[in-house]
Structure 1
Amino acid sequence: MSEKTPILFLHGAFSGPEVWTRFVAPWFAARGHPVAAPRLADPYVTRPERLRDYVRKAVDAVDAMGAPPVVIGYSLGGLVAQHLAVRRRVAGLALVASPGPGGLGPSFWQLSAGAPDVIGALLFAQAGGGASLGVEAARRALFTEATPAEWIRDIMQPVTRESPLALLDGLTWDLPPWYLMRRVPVLGLLGDSDAFVPVSDLWATTLAYGAETEVMRGFGHGLPIDPRWKALAWRLNAWMDERRIDASNRQHSAAS
């Protein structure tokens, strides 16, 4: 059995696990960490899924890992991760470009005020036009002006539809009960050019969880698929080392 702590990667809305499995998850796997990246949204269900359905899939993934993992949630996956950390013991929680415990409301207001064109692109994708969204729409939503167009073309996946009920839950009805979460190491990371998540969500994450937070310069919302994704991977790795998460997990396993 690996002595490295397992890592569970949770993807965001309008996307799939590829946001992690393209670069960051294999990077950690090559360093000996067991990794998993489940698909949270099922495109073949006949009814719209709820946020709690995504949380249930994340819980199932944790139960299959055999030891408490570090959970790294991106965007909406960070909201799922906060719910998960209430329901299962985790070794640590990293929230990457993630809403805080207040849910999607601050992101909605930031998009409305600063990037209404991104809202338009997401509505177009929700109507089935995701495959026809171009480089500039992706740049505006996920990257920065400095990101080469060739990189965006190579990395782009068709934008998938998202369950409107899951988004509504994350906006209003199903916010994380942060006051019930066990005290574990928490890291919050946000790009300084994130079109979706305001920096106030980092402050809320610090207040709710005692999180260490950082604004990463030169990044948009799409940190895991940015040309400089290794900066994200190294930052996550450094946090795990600084918090001695592998050592703590080994001690817990021995005590069990």
Structure 2
Amino acid sequence: MLFIHGAYTSAACWQPHLMPWLSNHGHDCWALSLPGHGDSPDKARLHQYSLEDYVAAVEATVPRLPAPPILIGHSLGGTVVLRLLERISVPGAVLLAPVPPHGVVPSASRLFWQRPPLLQALGHVVQGQLQAADAPQLGAALFSPRYPPPALAEMATLFQPESMRALFDLSWQGWRSAPTLPQLPALILAAEDDALFTVEEVDACARLLHTHAHVLPGLGHAMMLDHNWTLLAQALHTWLQTHFPAR
């Protein structure tokens, strides 16, 4: 499996829980940080990178793996997976709380009218200027409200600025024609407590892959880091055993 992170983070988001759990259950896990993210040497160029640059980076990584991977993308990473499926053949795909096909404008509009402090906090993340007042807002956006959110210091180790150019691309991807994607094993998971994307929006991605979204209860948008992350791990493990028993 090749894990592709979403906006504002890096491959580090898979390390605290999900990848170790899946590895211990016999799955071969790989992850990369998109250009300008994590330990990339080119972080100074972050805002120059487009969504296409992200797709190209993953496409260049796939042939270097021991076998064709199952692609697993979270949020923005889900968009990267969908665009890769237009170009390459892989055994299967998993989308976790993916950006809807129409982009992020409807989500940003909802936040502007309903939760402006949260939109402001996300702006601080883009700028790399997290503030103490941002912690409850980010916690509400990314994690289930049923549990206390991580402290700001903990979030700061996992989150980083995002490319303004890539975010612009996501904002306007609704202008793209709906792609014709292959029929392949696909799992699309929505989070019940996702403050960014609705279940209906996630299901729009699922329909592109000829299926429907499954909803994980008690999880927020950053489902791989939330308190009930084991629900995600078990859902992935079960799906992998069902569709790829020999892997």
Q: TM-score, normalised by structure 2?
A: 0.87
**Could you say what secondary structure the match of 1:72 adopts?**
strand
Identify the range of structure 1 (59-68 vs 224-233) with the bigger mean alpha-carbon deviation. Answer: 59-68
2:22 pairs with 1:28: yes
- Residues 245 and 102 (structure 1 numbering): CA distance in 2 closer, same or farther, change over 3 Å? farther
Identify the range of structure 1 (198-207 vs 126-135) with the bigger mean alpha-carbon deviation. Answer: 126-135
Which residue is equivalent to 1:137? 137
Cα offset for 1:107? 2.6
CA contact (8 A) 2:219 2:229 kept: no
Which residue is equivalent to 1:89? 89
CA contact (8 A) 2:180 2:208 kept: no
CA distance in 2, matches of 1:177, 1:241: 34
What amino acid maps onto 1:245 in structure 2? F
- Residues 146 and 38 (structure 1 numbering): CA distance in 2 closer, same or farther, change over 3 Å? same
- Describe how 1:206-217 pairs up with structure 2 within 5 A: 206-217=206-217
Cα offset for 1:153? 5.5
What amino acid maps onto 2:17 in structure 1? F
Which residue is equivalent to 1:80? 80
CA contact (8 A) 1:126 1:162 kept: yes
Unaligned runs of 5+ in 1: 1-6, 251-256
Summarize deviations over 1:181-233 as a string: whole Å, max 9, x none. 22111211111121111222233123221124112211111100011111101
2:128 pairs with 1:128: yes
Q: Across the two proteins, how many residue pairs are aligned to each other?
A: 240
Which residue is equivalent to 1:236? 236
- Residues 106 and 178 (structure 1 numbering): CA distance in 2 closer, same or farther, change over 3 Å? same
CA distance in 1, matches of 2:96, 2:46: 30
2:214 pairs with 1:220: no
CA distance in 2, matches of 1:109, 1:74: 21
Which residue is equivalent to 1:109? 109
CA distance in 2, matches of 1:110, 1:41: 29
Identify the range of structure 1 (100-109 vs 85-94) with the bigger mean alpha-carbon deviation. Answer: 100-109
CA contact (8 A) 1:155 1:225 kept: no
CA contact (8 A) 1:192 1:218 kept: yes
Unaligned runs of 5+ in 2: 37-42
- Residues 179 and 222 (structure 1 numbering): CA distance in 2 closer, same or farther, change over 3 Å? same
2:10 pairs with 1:16: yes
Summarize deviations over 1:119-155 as a string: whole Å, max 9, x none. 1101122233126565312311111222135x44674
Identify the range of structure 1 (33-42 vs 105-114) with the bigger mean alpha-carbon deviation. Answer: 105-114
Which residue is equivalent to 1:253? none
- Residues 46 and 113 (structure 1 numbering): CA distance in 2 closer, same or farther, change over 3 Å? closer
CA distance in 1, matches of 2:26, 2:100: 30
CA contact (8 A) 2:101 2:173 kept: no
Identity of matched residues, %: 30
Cα offset for 1:22? 1.7
- Residues 131 and 92 (structure 1 numbering): CA distance in 2 closer, same or farther, change over 3 Å? farther
Which residue is equivalent to 1:39? 33
